[in-house]
A = this chain, B = another copy of it.
Amino acid sequence: MKAEIIAVGTELLLGQIVNTNAQFISRECAAQGIDMYFQTVVGDNEQRLLDSLRLAASRADVVICTGGLGPTQDDLTKDVLASLTGCNLVLHEPSMEAISAMFASRDIHMVESNRRQALMLDGSDPLHNETGLAVGNALTYEGTHFILLPGPPKEMKPMFTKYAVPWLKLRMNDEVPLYSKMLKFAGIGESNLEHQLIDLIQSQTDPTIAPYAKEGEVTIRLTTRAHSAAEGEMKLKATEDEIVNRLGEYLYAAQDVPIETVVLRLLKANKKTLAVAESCTGGLLSDLITTVPGSSESFLGGIIVYSNALKHGLLGVPMDILEGEGAPGAVSSETAVILAEQLLVRTGSDFGISVTGVAGPSPSEGKPVGLVYVGLAQKQAKTEVYTLQLSGNRESIKHRAAKRALYQLWKQLKEN
C-alpha cells in the first residue's frame, strides 16, 4: 500500500511551525507496513491544494491530509476535496452537537463559521475528534483512500491512531501486518544504549530494531511481520531476550508508556504515597506526575522551593547549609537529603523525592550547568542521593532531571 502525506497550511511554508505531523504519521504508517513515498506541504491556496491532491491521487493508494479543517475561510481541505471528487459537503450531526454543547458550556456565542468544523464529504466516514471540534473524514474515491485529519498534533494524533489506522487496516489487502513492540528505557542515554546494542542494530534484518529518544527516555521499537500477536511475540522473542539480558536494569516497560505512569502503578499497587520537593525542575516533576489520570490516589503534592528562603522556610533546610563561606549550598547532596526527608515529616508521605541543581543557562554557586542532586527518602530506610551531570539547554536539563528522579523511584519500588 503506497501512501503520501499532504500537510496544508501557509504557516508551514512560512516556517512558523515545523511539520511534526508528517513525522508522526510516517512512523505510524511504517509500523503498519504502509510504504510512504512522498510528503508534501502546500499553503492555504485552493488551486495549489487541488493540484497536489490530484497528483497524489494519481500515484498513491492512500493520501493522508493534515490541516485545513478549522472554522476559518483559510481552512479549505474539505472544500477542495469536495470539488475534486464531486461530493457535496453535509453536516455531521454528532459533531455539530458537540460544537454547540461546547459553546453553550462556556457561555460563548457560537459564530456561524464554527459550523464548518462539523462538515463532512457526503458518503465519507467521519473520524471522531476526541480532543477538538473539527471532524475528520475518510473516503475512497476512484481507488484512492483519502484521510482528512486536523492540523493540531493534539487532535491529529489520537484521531489517526484510534480511527484512521483501523479504517485503513480494513482496506489493506495482502500485506502481512507489522507487529511492533516498544521497549522503554530510562536512566540511560540514547548513545550509550545504542553503543551497547550496536552489533544487534547493525546486523538487523527481521525483526528490525529502531531506537529513538525523547527527553530522558529511550524507546526501542522491535518490528516484524506477523498474522497474529502470538506469532509476532514468538518472532521477537530471541531479540527481546538478548536486549533484556544486556539492558534489563533500565527497562521499565514493554509498552509505550512514560515512566511516571509505571511509577504511579507501582505506588498504587503497594499502597504508598509520594510527595516531591523541586528546586531546579521548578514544578515539571509534579506536572509529569499529575498529567497521569488518577495520580491523586498516590501523589499528595509537592513543594517548589525555588528560592533559598522557601527551602529554609517551608522545608527547614538550615540557612548555614544553604549560604555562606564554605557552606554546601542549595545545590548539594546535604540539601537534597534534608528536602527529601522533611517531605516525609511535613506531608506524611511514604516516599519523598527532592531535586536540586543548576538548570542554566548560567552556573550557580560556582557549580556547573547540569549538575543535579536527586534525594530519595522513604520511611524506615536510609535516604539515598544520586548525583547527575546532565547536558542540554535549560528545558532539557529540567526534563532529564525529572525523568531521572522518576527512574530512581522506579528502581527503589522494584527492589522493595
Name A's B-contacting residues (CB within 8 A).
Answer: 10-20, 22-30, 36-43, 48, 52, 55, 71-73, 102, 105-109, 111, 113-114, 130-131, 154, 189, 191-192, 194-195, 198, 201-202, 210-212, 221, 275-276, 278, 281-291, 293, 295-296, 299-307, 309-310, 313-314, 346-348, 359-362, 368, 370, 389-396, 398
Using A40-B40, A290-B282 as known contacts, say yes or no to A201 and B303 having CB atoms under 8 A apart.
Answer: no
Looking at A113, A114, A295, A303, the one whose CB has the most chain B CB atoms below 10 A away is A303
Using A130-B393, A296-B306, A309-B300 as known contacts, say yes or no to A210 and B40 having CB atoms under 8 A apart.
Answer: no
A73 to chain B, nearest CB (A): 6
Contact A305 B301 (CB under 8 A): yes
User: Which residue in B15, B72, B288 is a CB contact (below 8 Å) of A26?
Assistant: B15
Contact B283 A304 (CB under 8 A): yes
Contact B303 A314 (CB under 8 A): yes
User: Which residue in B23, B52, B130, B211 is a CB contact (below 8 Å) of A18?
Assistant: B23
User: Which residue in B131, B391, B395 is a CB contact (below 8 Å) of A392?
Assistant: B131
Chain B residues positioned under 8 Å from A284 (CB to CB): 283, 287, 290
Contact B301 A304 (CB under 8 A): yes
User: Which residue in B26, B362, B392 is a CB contact (below 8 Å) of A12?
Assistant: B26
Chain B residues positioned under 8 Å from A19 (CB to CB): 18-19, 22-23, 39
User: Which residue in B42, B313, B390 is a CB contact (below 8 Å) of A346?
Assistant: B313
Q: With the chains together, A30 CA to B43 CA distance in Å? A: 13
Chain B residues positioned under 8 Å from A102 (CB to CB): 391
Q: With the chains together, A327 CA to B296 CA distance in Å? A: 20
Contact A105 B370 (CB under 8 A): yes
A232 to chain B, nearest CB (A): 16
Looking at A13, A195, A275, A302, the one whose CB has the most chain B CB atoms below 10 A away is A13
Q: With the chains together, A117 CA to B398 CA distance in Å? A: 24
The 5 closest A-B pairs by CB, nearest first: A282-B290, A283-B286, A15-B27, A15-B26, A283-B283
User: Which residue in B16, B189, B396 is a CB contact (below 8 Å) of A108?
Assistant: B189
Chain B residues positioned under 8 Å from A314 (CB to CB): 301, 303, 314, 346-347
Contact A13 B37 (CB under 8 A): yes
A341 to chain B, nearest CB (A): 16
Contact A306 B313 (CB under 8 A): no
Q: With the chains together, A348 CA to B293 CA distance in Å? A: 33
Chain B residues positioned under 8 Å from A111 (CB to CB): 191, 195, 198
Chain B residues positioned under 8 Å from A48 (CB to CB): 37-38
Chain B residues positioned under 8 Å from A210 (CB to CB): 10-11, 16
User: Which residue in B15, B359, B389, B395 is a CB contact (below 8 Å) of A25?
Assistant: B15
Chain B residues positioned under 8 Å from A27 (CB to CB): 14-16
Residue of B nearest to A361 (CB): B293
Chain B residues positioned under 8 Å from A275 (CB to CB): 310
Q: With the chains together, A362 CA to B290 CA distance in Å? A: 14
Chain B residues positioned under 8 Å from A154 (CB to CB): 393, 395-396
Contact B291 A395 (CB under 8 A): yes
A153 to chain B, nearest CB (A): 11
Contact B37 A40 (CB under 8 A): no
Contacts A39-B41, A55-B55 aside, 20 further interface pairs with beta carbons under 8 A come to A13-B36, A15-B24, A15-B25, A18-B19, A37-B48, A72-B201, A105-B370, A106-B389, A108-B192, A111-B198, A113-B198, A154-B395, A275-B310, A278-B286, A290-B304, A299-B307, A300-B306, A300-B310, A303-B314, A314-B347
Contact B306 A299 (CB under 8 A): yes
Contact B306 A304 (CB under 8 A): no
Contact A37 B26 (CB under 8 A): no
Residue of B nearest to A284 (CB): B287
Contact B72 A194 (CB under 8 A): yes
Chain B residues positioned under 8 Å from A307 (CB to CB): 296, 299-301
Q: With the chains together, A410 CA to B310 CA distance in Å? A: 24
Chain B residues positioned under 8 Å from A289 (CB to CB): 282-283
